[in-house]
Structure 1
Amino acid sequence: MSGSTQGIGYAVAEALLGEGAAVVVNGRTEERVRTAVDTLRAVVPGSDVSGIAADVEDAEQVRRMLAALGEVDVLVNNVGVFEVKDFEDITDEDWQRHFDVNVMSGVRLSRHVLGGMLARGWGRILFVSSESGVDVPGDMTHYGVTKAGMLALGNGLAKLTRGTGVTVNTILGGPTYSDGVARAVEGLSRAQGVPVDDLKDAIAAGNRTSLLQRFIEPAEIASLAAYLASPLASATNGAAVRADGGVLTTIL
């Protein structure tokens, strides 16, 4: 599971461990991975959890991580980067980084595991995308474009699973109070002299299309991921399943 030492990825790891799965978490540094593994073992006693440190932006580090993995029944492509930036200020390097992390990490990991899943006749590949891949924000164009690319990747891979027990699905998450978002809100709180909780509520209430009218918690995304990773979701394939809090306004 890529990008799983904090936020949504960590919540998905915890949910899958709670269902009895053996989980391998991933983060950029040994320290972050070790901390996540130790915490998960404490939260879910007796769980089978391990970790591999690798920066998924680096193809060579991904190659080494893949070499250390055995058979994978469920792959969760969760890792992602985002930033608020005016379009004219987004550099080629910014675009490349977002593409490498948000899209190519999923390409490399899925390419490694899909063949084995098809050979065994069962498997799950999940992409944790965003409603920003459908309704691309003007101040995060590079993020939205790469999240749209993730949607397209998941849809294309699902075509390769026809007639098998393997499924490929994408979660369309809405505004979630992940660690990265929390840090951004805390930074704004300090800059504006506004209490964090008040600013958090104001940001959530300012989203005019949100039906939830609050930030989504990572555990709420994780609940959907746990379902899609299970045998219960056998008829869901090639889908973009929403956990967006009603932010998207279209019926389908």
Structure 2
Amino acid sequence: DGEEEEDEDEDEDEAKAEERRRARIVRLRDDATFLDALFQKAEGAKVSSPDLVLIRADFLLSTGRAKEAEEILRSAAAAATETTTRTKPDARVYLRWAQIASRLRTTGTKTEIGPEAILRRAMREVPVRDAGHAKLSAELLRHLLMLPANQTGKGGANKEATELLRRLLLLSKSDSQSSDDVDLPDLCLMYVRRASLSGLEATRQAYSTVLFESGYAGSCRGMSADEARGVGQ
């Protein structure tokens, strides 16, 4: 009898848990419907800002609508470049757009424009003095360094990657704070590793770019080996 009562209690607990789960799903669905209506109302009233666009994109992602999120970000980026708008191009919108486009590409979903092209467009629209420009350069560099060898063309991606790295190294030596959030050591390491796949000469050129154009070699002059390693960390 005791075992039967225990089984009944377990069945009752499972039934209550299932009921709570269904109630939670209903609440989430209602919340999603409400937020959808709210975003559409704001769009109809032409109320928009980069922050609102990013929030809406994240909401669409959370409800499994990545393609819609990509379209929202694409439209926002296009609108910011129109002469009649008061909104300036925002690097965060482009970065999120590229991130979602990259995710869609991995799932085989076609988009109007790929992540690399998005970032190139962003670099034309967002001025160098903007703090987001360095982040865009770094993200594009990261994308190029991670492309499969059969997608890089005849040195095209390697040449572009070198130009981007030099741009970031130059920004890092300027008085601007725009490159503070960029992990340059990690990008330099990725750059050298990628160059090593193209042979000894490419590796030498990569080391030359990283060591001398970054100012690392000059900063280590007169130091011991241990001190020099400390500078690079």
Q: Would you call these one fold, judging by a TM-score over 0.5?
A: no
Which structure's residues are more often helix, by fraction?
2
Q: What's the TM-score once normalised by structure 2's chain length?
A: 0.31
The structure, 1 or 2, with the larger RCO (C-alpha pairs under 8 Å, 6+ apart) is 1
Whose Rg is larger? 2
Which structure's residues are more often strand, by fraction?
1
Q: What's the TM-score once normalised by structure 1's chain length?
A: 0.29
